[in-house]
Structure 1
Amino acid sequence: MRRLSALTWAAAAALVLGLTTAAPASASETDEFSDIEGDPYTGLVYEPAEGEAVSARGTNFSPAGCAGQTDYAHKSFNEASVHGRTTCTVAVGSLGVTTILQKQGWLYWESQLNDSSSRTNSKNSQDAHPHWYCGGWGSQNYRGVSTHWSQEASGRYSATTVGMEKRFSC
């Protein structure tokens, strides 16, 4: 039986320990929205001004009944797409939405493309709908993440929604 040298043992141990204790990528190397979870539909909540105590108002919902929604990701010809929108029950000074289309990677959700839509003196933002060419990737999981906002007489309101993931191939 052949004896292994100390150097061989050290190299083997470093390889095994290096593979089993490898840390995931740091937060700065991952996507800002890679680990976000949430509902596909939610009401917008008051966003405190800089320096304002959060407890001063609590978590007040938009008086104009504004809410955000992110739909299921879907296939559109040879592209992956998702739609997000902000709607209110009455017209507000301004409102908008930014929707990000994400594809599930090995370790985290990868943002592929984003789109924004905003309007003034309206009840809806219209849809933000990023489209990303996905041919040749095979079957993948996709989802949408949207940030919604409204500027009303009583302040700024915001929310984030996450559409349910959906698997499809282009």
Structure 2
Amino acid sequence: MLRLLLLRHAKSDWPEGVDDVDRPLTPRGAAQARDVGAYMQEHGLIPDRAVVSIAQRTRETWAGVASPWQEAPPVQFDDDVYAASARRLLQVIREQGGDARTLLLVGHNPGVHDLVATLAAERDRVPLAYPTATLAVLELPVDGWPEVDAGTARVERVVVKGSD
């Protein structure tokens, strides 16, 4: 059994003249990220590995999430996660999961929300909206990441630490 944690980045700003990839978190977003990290620690959801989009807002989200932990797991900043579709994110998970039993992916909508919907065996467990700083915890009845497929995950919980 593998566990997949799918996190949408925390609330971001879009200052004039800044490219999308370089958008920073707002102060509220930084607080959301720390809240998610504290929640993950309190509930035993520390990943063995993290895959994070190259965007500034996802990097800052990752830094905030990992800040309360004693030791941060290995992280891969992957440009394939930025603006990725659910199909592409699934491919990244299959390729980047390695020997992790719990994998965290920090990305963007609509891809992250669509991936939750794609993987969920029970569609009624998929939230209608996926605001910033939302974390889905999925249990996958497989032994390796290359085996992850559509419609096989149990949505164990969805935690909303922010809202748009």
Q: TM-score, normalised by structure 2?
A: 0.25
Query: Which structure is higher in helix share?
Result: 2
Identify, as 1 or 2, the structure richer in strand.
Answer: 1
Higher RCO by CA contacts (8 Å cutoff, separation 6 or greater): 2
